[in-house]
């Protein structure tokens, strides 16, 4: 498989995980690359205008099992990707509307074992800020056969892992929600319906790093130096175990991308149940 590299002035240490608009346009005719917009609410944002060449997916329809609160089985994942025209060798590039839904798809694909999955830095926000046009034309790729790989369980955490981390001296738990959610004023995002869990608060000992403090105004990631200044006071050791969570894990995956792909942290797990699960479990400790 060809390796598509990127030299970024903002993130010069990266070679593959984070691509920019110039890279994307240079590879616009490369059939080994598939660009995907991930929408949070149906595909409304995609249908109103998207980056040329992008497929449009609704996050839950494509990335979750249709019945269980779980990811698609290996066979279902392979079937969905094959129908979308993606092989196991395809370089898949995501962007989200909003941005954290793109990193959620990146994380699910990493968990499901896809070999080459990347993020478009800044997504549609930065694309438009740079004066680039959107399109209403919808893209399609012919169906193919997708052969899956082993799942990467080491990047995912469950509630038992969180309970164990509460007693681990070296573990670091990071909360990437808003200040209102972290402090226990709300269980949902400010400006949205205040729903998502039965109890208010945070996981005991969790340190607060709001996901949006990792981004520039155009939704691109801050530089490695800026991210290090934010992360290092709370997680100084790049090899220490880190558990990231938010309300439903979307924002936590954005932090996971920054930690692993930009800063080089080696042991980061996303608690995908996040506060939606923890805040509704009988008997677990809660801090406010």
Q: Which pLDDT belongs to residue 78? A: 97
Query: What pLDDT does residue 1 have?
Result: 31
User: Mean pLDDT throughout 203-220?
Assistant: 97
Q: Is 112 a catalytic residue?
A: no
Convert the pLDDT of each residue in 15-62 to its tens digit.
479 999 999 999 999 999 999 999 999 999 999 999 999 999 999 999
Q: What predicted TM-score, i.e. pTM, was given to this entire model?
A: 0.94
Taking residue 24's Cβ as centre, other Cβ atoms within 10 Å add up to: 24
pLDDT, residue 167, reads 87
CA atoms within 13 A on the CB side of 53: 17
Structural domains in the chain, CATH included, are 18-151 (3.40.250.10), 154-278 (3.40.250.10)
Q: How confident is the model at residue 168 (pLDDT cuts 50, 70, 90)?
A: confident
Give the per-residue SS3 of 168-229: CCCCEEEECCCHHHHHCCCCCCCCCCCCCCCCCCECCCCEECCHHHHECCCCCECCHHHHHH
Catalytic residue, chosen from 34, 112, 172, 246, is 246
Which band of pLDDT confidence, cut at 50, 70 and 90, is reported for residue 224?
A: very high
Cβ partners under 8 Å of residue 212, min gap 6: none
Q: Are 262 and 11 in contact (CB under 8 A)?
A: yes
What pLDDT shows up at residue 169? 81
Residue 10 has pLDDT above 70, yes or no: no
Q: For residue 170, what pLDDT band results from cuts at 50, 70 and 90?
A: confident
């Amino acid at each position: 498989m060809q390796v598509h590299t990127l030299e970024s002035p903002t993130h010069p240490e990266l070679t593959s995980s984070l691509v920019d608009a110039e890279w994307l346009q240079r590879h616009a005719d490369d059939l080994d690359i598939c660009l995907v917009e991930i929408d949070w609410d149906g595909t409304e944002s995609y249908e109103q205008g998207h980056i040329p060449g992008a497929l449009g997916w609704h996050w839950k329809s494509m990335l979750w099992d249709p019945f269980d609160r779980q990811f698609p089985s290996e066979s279902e994942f392979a079937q969905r990707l094959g129908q979308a025209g993606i092989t196991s060798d395809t370089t898949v590039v995501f962007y989200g509307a909003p941005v954290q839904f793109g990193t959620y798809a990146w994380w699910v694909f990493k968990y499901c074992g896809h070999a080459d999955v990347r993020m478009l830095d800044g997504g549609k926000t930065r694309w438009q800020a740079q004066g680039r046009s959107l399109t209403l034309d919808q893209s399609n790729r012919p169906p193919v056969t997708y052969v899956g790989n082993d799942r990467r369980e080491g990047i995912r955490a469950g509630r038992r892992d969180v309970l164990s981390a509460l007693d681990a001296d070296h573990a670091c738990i990071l909360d990437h929600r808003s200040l209102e959610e972290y402090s226990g004023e709300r269980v949902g995002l400010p400006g949205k319906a205040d729903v998502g869990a039965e109890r208010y608060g945070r996981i005991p000992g969790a340190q607060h790093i709001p996901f949006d403090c990792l981004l520039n105004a155009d939704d691109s990631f801050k530089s490695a130096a800026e991210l290090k200044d934010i992360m290092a006071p709370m997680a100084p050791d790049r090899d220490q175990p880190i558990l990231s969570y938010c309300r439903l894990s979307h924002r936590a995956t954005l932090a996971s991308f920054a930690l692993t792909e930009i800063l080089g942290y080696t042991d980061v797990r996303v608690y995908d149940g996040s506060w939606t699960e923890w805040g509704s479990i009988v008997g677990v400790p809660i801090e406010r």
